């Protein structure tokens, strides 16, 4: 009888150990620091608040994985309305990971101009800690720096957008994303 209890104890310990090892391996494979881990933290609903073009603003942002987790799609809609009653600003943004170049790519389509489907509408960025600094090259002398920075302690994001023209940099946007309630 005591031998049977000992065997069950060994089996129980073995299965607990096995579950622990499988969990650790799974965490390593999904990658606590994998390229998609940071984007996973963005994949919820947010309220964006801050300053854009010198004006206080509030937008709703919904981020979700699409196309078999190949791209994170963000849908950003301002709460402010235009003269027709439509959102004053809308954007659909796609972010993906290119394993070959080891960098993120970002396609930003918005209601400010219809030229997002061009080389200038696609930015690239390499992760730096919990930030992804994207660079949109508009022309040889003009670019847009759009940095997505995650604050793990507060579980918020900060987006900073700087316009650079002829070597002069000007802050265009400084906003914070907090989880929608």
pLDDT value, residue 118:
75
Using DSSP, state whether 16 is helix, strand or coil. Answer: helix
String of DSSP letters for 40-89? HTT-SEEEEEEEETTEEEEEEEEEEEETTTTEEEEEEEESSB-TTSSBS-
**pTM recorded for the entire structure:** 0.78
What does the pLDDT average to over 162-171? 94
pLDDT value, residue 23:
38
Q: How far is CA 84 from the centre of its chain?
A: 31
pLDDT value, residue 30:
41
Which pLDDT band, with edges at 50, 70 and 90, does 120 fall under? confident
pLDDT value, residue 20:
37
């Amino acid at each position: 009888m005591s031998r049977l209890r000992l065997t069950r104890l060994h089996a129980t310990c073995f299965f607990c150990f096995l579950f622990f090892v499988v969990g650790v391996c799974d965490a390593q494979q999904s990658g606590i620091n994998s390229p998609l881990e940071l984007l996973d933290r963005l994949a919820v609903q947010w309220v964006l608040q801050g300053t854009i073009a010198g004006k206080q603003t509030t937008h709703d942002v919904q981020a979700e994985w699409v196309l078999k987790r190949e791209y994170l799609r963000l849908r950003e809609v301002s709460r402010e309305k235009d003269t027709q009653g439509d959102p004053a600003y809308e954007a659909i943004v796609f972010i993906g990971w290119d394993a070959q170049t080891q960098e993120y790519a970002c396609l930003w389509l918005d209601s400010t101009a219809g030229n997002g489907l061009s080389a200038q509408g696609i930015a690239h960025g390499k992760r730096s800690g919990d930030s992804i600094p994207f660079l949109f090259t508009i022309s040889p002398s003009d670019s847009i720096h759009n940095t997505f920075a995650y604050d793990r302690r507060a579980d918020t994001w900060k987006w900073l957008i700087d316009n650079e023209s002829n070597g002069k940099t000007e802050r265009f946007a400084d906003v914070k994303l907090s989880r929608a309630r």
